[in-house]
Chain A
Amino acid sequence: MNAPMVRAEGVRKHFGKLEVLQGIDLTVERGQVCCLLGPSGSGKSTFLRCINHLETVDGGRLTVDGELVGYRQHGNKLHELREREVAERRRDIGMVFQRFNLFPHMTALDNVIEAPVKVGGVPRAAAREQARQLLEQVGLGDRAGYYPAQLSGGQQQRVAIARALAMKPKLMLFDEPTSALDPELVGDVLDVMRRLAADGMTMVVVTHEIGFAREVGDTAVFMDQGVVVEAGDPRQVLVDPEQERTRAFLSKVL
């Protein structure tokens, strides 16, 4: 039980000849919020997607709660698991996408109960009850019967968070959750994430919200061109970074 929630050791990944991850080492302890920052193309989203095996890894080891997600280790070989087995392990890892990816043919409530009922085997009535509570938590108790197209971006993203939470994950991954939102809607989503962090959820957040990272993050990781440039206390890394590259990035986004 003492294993960190996420441990990456020398994670490598390439798309064709392009090395998008050139040996990432990273540890996220239980209950911590780790914010990944960096310019686009730095590999931060790819790394996040490797954590729940939406992307395969070409080298290194990535464990969640001490367990490999997409692989089984035999001696010094990692055997890729079948989709069915991967699905089993992804249940505990919630993910929120930049473009929400709500199921458009289902209401907000149906979006939230889909996985608990069909994957978790939770009785429909119980799942509904839980879903209503979750929607209440994200401030959308009155929007349960709405279809995604009838909700604003911010509301959709909060439904997406509720949907991920419905599987009672031990780890939440956020892939630029506010990047596709109108500026005025960003706050509501960040508030929900802030509360989630305060409740002790372990979170890995790819974000451009420097303020959020400083305020909520336990660690900030600055990535560029597939390597971790600098990592540590966000109040250090994002205020007075040691590396010139980090400094240059911050001066541009702030």
Chain B
Amino acid sequence: MTDTTASFTTTSTPEAAVQDLEVVPVRNYGRWIAATASIMALVGLIGSLAKNDNLHWDVVATYLFADLIFDGLATTLWLTAAAMALGLGLGTLIAVMRLSTSPVLYGLANAFVWLFRGTPLLVQIIFWGYAAALYKYVKIGVPFTDITFLQAETNSLLTPAVAALLALGLNEAAYASEIVRAGIQSVDHGQAEAAHSLGMRPALTMRRIVLPQAMRVIIPPMGNETINMLKMTALVSVISAHDLMSNIQDVYAQNYQVIPMLVVASLWYLALVTLLGIPQAWLERRYGRGTAQAGHVSPLQRMLGGATGLTGRKNKETGR
């Protein structure tokens, strides 16, 4: 008690002086030094790259907007979109199956995930690309009889593009199913009970009540998956599906300008990944409706030190 009184008397200032007190935030001199050093290093690196003749910027400029590249880009884009659609649709179905009480559905879904997550994507792509070597014809009919509804040559059905789509889509479904399952399980069980008590059937409850709420948890990792998918389409160059990477490879196989062509590819992949951030931000806002949101912090604000609570999102990277 005596101590408090003592400190009170020593620190007390006249009323007027208290008004004039100024609050000085912590001065981060270290940050300024670090920022200056990194900017200088970056400028040096860019300068050395720009002046490096081995990079052949003229080749980069020639091919950056070439028709061949745009053809490849178109394939890459539709392949990404279609594979993600297939992956998310099938993945949701598998997620629901894994949460089902039916041991048959649960077992099938588990087996699917086990198989497609457990083998390398590159192997799956090559497998679908060469599936014709396994089955020359695709027949749909009654097994062990001659009744056939549909028959076609595997090679005509399974073009490189279709094989690429199947490989990427099925693989994605295995990963997406885990993300969707986690999303569904994150929704409080009381939500389903409330829906059931109103007479909503299980399917309607899933569609209207559970999935929209699960989306909030599903979207950030699915954004990651989409970015991954965009880049993984490069793998289908092994079955020459004429995506961006295939076309790039075709060019450097002829002109031997490997690095400049890879720069062209990287620039386009970077541009596309950057653009993908826009729909993701929009989706996150849309499905974040009704939840108390931490105020949006723009990258600029974050750089200037306004970042709090946004770091958690970085941990959602799915290792592959």
Known: A90-B196, A149-B292. A105 touches B201 (CB 8 A): no
What is the chain A residue whose CB lies nearest that of B286? A105
What is the count of residue pairs linking A and B with beta-carbon distances less than 8 angstroms?
80
Interface string of A169-192 (1 = CB under 8 A from B): 000010000000000000000000
Contact residues, B184-199 vs A (CB, 8 A): 188, 190-191, 193-199
Contact A101 B213 (CB under 8 A): no
Known: A54-B193, A119-B204. A104 touches B213 (CB 8 A): yes
Contact A147 B198 (CB under 8 A): no
Question: Which residues of B lie under 8 Å from residue A88 when comparing CB positions?
Answer: 199
Alpha-carbon separation in the docked complex, A105 to B191 (Å): 11
Contact A119 B198 (CB under 8 A): yes
Does A94 have its Cβ within 8 Å of any Cβ on chain B? yes
Contact residues, A104-149 vs B (CB, 8 A): 104-107, 114-115, 118-120, 147-149
Contact B199 A90 (CB under 8 A): yes
Contact B290 A83 (CB under 8 A): no
Does B302 have its Cβ within 8 Å of any Cβ on chain A? no
Contact A115 B193 (CB under 8 A): no
Contact A54 B212 (CB under 8 A): no
Alpha-carbon separation in the docked complex, A18 to B188 (Å): 25
Contact A147 B199 (CB under 8 A): no
What is the chain A residue whose CB lies nearest that of B293? A149
How many chain A residues touch B (Cβ–Cβ < 8 Å)?
A: 34
Alpha-carbon separation in the docked complex, A102 to B195 (Å): 9
Contact A167 B289 (CB under 8 A): no
What is the chain B residue whose CB lies nearest that of A104? B290
Contact B198 A101 (CB under 8 A): no
What is the chain A residue whose CB lies nearest that of B188? A101
Residues of A within 8 A of B (CB): 52, 54, 83-84, 86-88, 90-91, 93-95, 97, 99, 101-107, 114-115, 118-120, 147-149, 160, 163-164, 167, 173
Q: List 30 A-B contacts (CB under 8 A).
A: A86-B196, A87-B200, A90-B196, A90-B197, A91-B199, A94-B197, A94-B198, A95-B194, A95-B197, A97-B193, A101-B191, A101-B194, A102-B194, A103-B195, A103-B209, A104-B290, A105-B289, A106-B290, A114-B200, A115-B198, A118-B204, A119-B201, A120-B199, A148-B290, A149-B290, A149-B292, A163-B198, A167-B198, A167-B199, A173-B197
6 smallest CB-CB distances across A and B, nearest first, come from: A91-B199, A101-B194, A147-B290, A95-B197, A115-B198, A101-B190
